[in-house]
Structure 1
Amino acid sequence: MKPCPECGASTEPRSCEELFHALLALDHARQEPWGPLHGVSVSCFLLQHPSRLPADDGAMAWALLRAYLEGGLDEVNQLVGQARRGNSHRVKGEPSRVARDAALPHRDAPRSRFSVTIQDVAVDGTFPSSEFTQRVEAWAAATVDAWSCGM
C-alpha cells in the first residue's frame, strides 16, 4: 500500500487523481448531492494536494472552505458571487475582498496525513450519494483543521 505523497491516503485501489476525475464527472452532471458541492470538493482536493494549487496559492479554496464551514452553501454562493463581480473587467484597481481576506494561515502545506481524504469521501470509489454531504463536510473540516494547525 503506497500512500499519496501529498495527502497521505492510500493510492490503492485508485489514486487520488483517479478519484478526483471520477468526482469531477459527478460534479459536472450538476445533480444532487455532488453538483452543488463542486467548489467545496475541488477546494478540499487542491488544499490536500498543494502541488496543484492555482496562482493564488489556494486563497480562494481556503475562503470557500471557511465559508462552507461557517455558513453552508448559501455562504459559499455569496462568496462566489462576490468573486465573480470582483473579477469583472469593469472593476479596476482594488483587489476583491476575497483576495484580501482569504490568505492561508501559513504558506507551508501540512506535512502529515489528513484525517479525512478523498479516499474517505469516495467510500468504495463511487462517491455514493448516501451521506455524501456529511462526508464532504468532514473532508472540509479536516482540511481546514490541518492547515490551521500546521499539523
Structure 2
Amino acid sequence: MTQPAPATHCPECGGTFTAEATCTDRYHACMALELTNPDYGAVHHFTVPAYMLQHPSQLSADGWQAMAQVLHEFLIDGVSPARMRQLIRQQQKTQPRSFSMVKGRVAERPSLTWRKTIMDVRLDDPATYRADVRTWAEAVHYDIQNLDLTGFA
C-alpha cells in the first residue's frame, strides 16, 4: 500500500512548506529566537497575532476578532507591548472580557489567499528577521482590512 504524499501547503494559511519545516515548525523556531534573543524578540508582538490570525483553528471566533484588533493597535495606532499590557489590565478591572480567546466556537478560516505567511520570514539574522516579521504583519493586517468579514465571526 502506498503512503499518501505529504502536504506541501498549510491548510490554514496556504504557506508553502519546506523540506525542513511546516508553519508550526517555523512558528516554534521564531518563538525560540524571540524568547532567547532580544534582537529577535523586538517583534514578538507582531509575530504572535500574525500567526494566530492566519491559523484560526488556534482561536475562538471572538478571539480571532480580538487578535485582529490587537494587531491593528500595534501596527496602526503604534501601541507598544508595554502599553498594551497596561490597557488589557485596566480593561480587565473595569470590564472583564466576556469571551475566551481559545474556547468556544472556533474561528472559521477566511477564504482568501494571504499575501505573506510565516514561511516568508527569514531567520538568518535579527535585522532581516525584524524587517520580514514587520512586512508579514503589515500584509496580514492589509489582507484582513480588505476582507469581507460578513458572517465570519
Where does 1:1-151 land on structure 2 (aligned, <5 Å)? 2-13=8-19, 14-32=21-39, 34-54=40-60, 56-72=62-78, 74-87=79-92, 91=93, 94-95=95-96, 108-121=108-121, 123=122, 126-150=123-147
**2-side partners of 1:147 and 1:12: how far apart?**
26
- State the percentage of identical aligned residues: 26
Q: Any stretches of 5+ residues in structure 1 without a counterpart?
A: 100-106
1:108 shift after superposition: 4.8
1:50 shift after superposition: 0.6
TM-score under structure 1 normalisation?
0.74
1:115 shift after superposition: 0.9
1:131 alignment partner, SS class: helix
**1-side partners of 2:110 and 2:36: how far apart?**
32
**2-side partners of 1:2 and 1:111: how far apart?**
19
Q: Any stretches of 5+ residues in structure 2 without a counterpart?
A: 1-6, 100-106, 149-153
1:138 shift after superposition: 1.2
Tell me the amino acid that sits aligned with residue 79 of structure 1: M
**1-side partners of 2:27 and 2:44: how far apart?**
11
TM-score under structure 2 normalisation?
0.73
**2-side partners of 1:82 and 1:42: how far apart?**
18
How big is each residue's C-alpha offset from its partner over 1:90-127, in whole Å with a ceiling of 9 and x where there is no partner?
Answer: x25x346xx9xxxxxxx754223211110111x2xx35
1:54 shift after superposition: 4.8
